């Protein structure tokens, strides 16, 4: 449904995307995970037909996003990171204006508005001015707005930013429903691990490059065994000492040392014994997407 090949984009001398290739199948929830500045937003803007890439191409349902922008706009719904609603208008007026921009009117538009509002649980707030709605509700209105023209693909840029955990769960439930009931293909950008974990597949973007691609489980499986995180006053020197003594790679990041290792519990006993004074706290967990990210890039996500 979405095909990106050899996509490269430069802002002046700065390379924002470098030779990015991936494909998204119909009905998939596909995530772009990475830190801010990693290239997610640039990729999103290219896919949303907001700018043409310097090199390479991207297409949605067979239409090139740069050359056939208006065909793409008809089949894609876009939810922006920033609010795109007019606060001085009511919920319903916002939806109606959006419908008109897509050439919808009359009974068709009324029916589409009704079904979008019902689906996202907005019907009883339809007459309210957007400025009186909470952040979570506004996000839902944004999605309702993006769905009016029945898009085959929904692009969501950091859609859960600024939402509390409950509103975030609520949002992913709605997204999941869309995929199941309407077969909508969803591409979302995020730097929130929990959200990335709910995608069918994702790519990790770092400095404009894809550093890893796969389902959340596949990605986590790249790390054998456990992840041990040690809090230390001097993480760098501790990491060096651990590598020397135990012969395992240790990454120092933000005052912590991360070690990937089989049988983490035994390693903990040994490492605490060996560097008793240097360690402030110890954490053992199954690999998370963040661990994958750290492993592939040596940098953190947030």
Partner 1 sequence: MNSFLLPAATLWQRELVRFWRQKSRVMGVVASPLVFWLFIGYGSNDLAKFYSGALVLTVMFSAIFSTITIIEDRREGFLLSMLVSPAPRTSMVLGKILGSATLGWIQGTIFLIFAPLAGIHIAPAQLLVVAAAIFLVSFTLTGLGFVMAWKMESTSGFHALMNLLLFPLWIVSGALFPMATAHGWIKAVMYVNPLTYSISLLNHALLMPDATPGALTSLAVTAAFGVGLLLASGIMAGRKSVRSSA
Residues that bind partner 1 (CB under 8 A): 41, 45, 48-52, 69-70, 73-74, 76, 78, 80-89, 93, 96-98, 100-103, 105, 145, 157
Question: Of 56 and 197, which CB lies nearer to partner 1 in the complex structure?
Answer: 56
Question: Of 20 and 76, which CB lies nearer to partner 1 in the complex structure?
Answer: 76
Distance CA 130, CA 98 (A): 14
CB of 117 to partner 1, least distance (A): 17
Question: Of 86 and 194, which CB lies nearer to partner 1 in the complex structure?
Answer: 86
CB of 200 closer than 8 Å to CB of 291: no
E strand residue ranges, the chain: 2-11, 14-24, 29-33, 55-60, 63-64, 76-79, 153-157, 185-190, 201-206, 209-214, 226-232, 250-253, 256-261, 279-285
Distance CA 222, CA 212 (A): 10
Write the CB contacts of 103 (distance below 8 Å, at least 6 apart in sequence).
none
CB of 98 to partner 1, least distance (A): 7
Determine the 3-state secondary structure of 69 from DSSP: helix
Question: Of 45 and 119, which CB lies nearer to partner 1 in the complex structure?
Answer: 45
Question: Of 100 and 236, which CB lies nearer to partner 1 in the complex structure?
Answer: 100
CB of 165 to partner 1, least distance (A): 24
Paired residues of 5 in beta bridges: 57
Question: Of 79 and 257, which CB lies nearer to partner 1 in the complex structure?
Answer: 79
Q: What is the CA radius of gyration of the chain?
A: 22
CB of 73 to partner 1, least distance (A): 4
CB of 45 to partner 1, least distance (A): 8
Phi, psi of 7 (to 5 degrees): -80, 125
CB of 54 to partner 1, least distance (A): 12
CB of 180 to partner 1, least distance (A): 26
**How far, rounded to the nearest angstrom, does the alpha carbon of residue 280 sit from its chain's CA centroid?**
33
How does strand 185-190 pair with strand 153-157?
Answer: parallel
Question: Of 66 and 299, which CB lies nearer to partner 1 in the complex structure?
Answer: 66
Q: Helix, strand, coil: what percent of the chain each, to 5? A: 40, 30, 30
Determine the 3-state secondary structure of 62 from DSSP: coil
């Amino acid at each position: 449904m979405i095909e990106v090949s050899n996509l490269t984009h430069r802002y002046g001398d700065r390379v924002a995307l470098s030779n990015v290739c991936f494909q998204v199948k119909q009905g998939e929830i596909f995530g772009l995970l990475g830190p801010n500045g990693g290239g997610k937003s640039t990729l999103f803007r290219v896919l949303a037909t907001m700018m043409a890439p310097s090199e390479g191409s991207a297409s949605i349902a067979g239409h090139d996003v740069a050359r056939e922008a208006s065909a793409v706009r008809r089949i894609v719904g876009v939810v922006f990171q920033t609010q795109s609603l007019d606060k001085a208008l009511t919920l319903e007026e916002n939806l109606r204006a959006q419908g008109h921009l897509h050439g919808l009117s009359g009974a068709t538009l009324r029916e589409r508005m009704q079904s979008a509002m019902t689906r996202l649980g907005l019907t009883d707030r339809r007459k309210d001015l957007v400025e009186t709605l909470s952040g979570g509700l506004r996000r839902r209105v944004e999605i309702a707005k993006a769905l009016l023209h029945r898009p085959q693909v929904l692009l969501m840029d950091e859609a859960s930013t600024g939402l509390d955990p409950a509103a975030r769960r609520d949002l992913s439930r709605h997204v999941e429903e869309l995929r199941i009931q309407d077969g909508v293909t969803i591409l979302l950008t995020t730097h929130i691990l929990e959200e990335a974990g709910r995608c069918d597949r994702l790519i990790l973007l770092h400095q404009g490059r894809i550093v890893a691609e796969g389902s959340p489980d596949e990605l986590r499986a790249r790390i054998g065994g456990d992840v041990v995180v040690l809090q230390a006053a001097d993480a760098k020197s501790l990491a060096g000492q651990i590598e020397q003594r135990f012969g395992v790679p240790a990454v120092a990041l933000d005052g912590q040392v991360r070690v990937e290792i089989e049988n983490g519990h035994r390693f903990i006993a040994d490492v605490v014994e060996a560097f008793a004074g240097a360690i402030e706290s110890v954490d053992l967990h199954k690999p998370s997407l963040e661990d994958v990210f750290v492993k592939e890039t040596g940098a953190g996500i947030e």
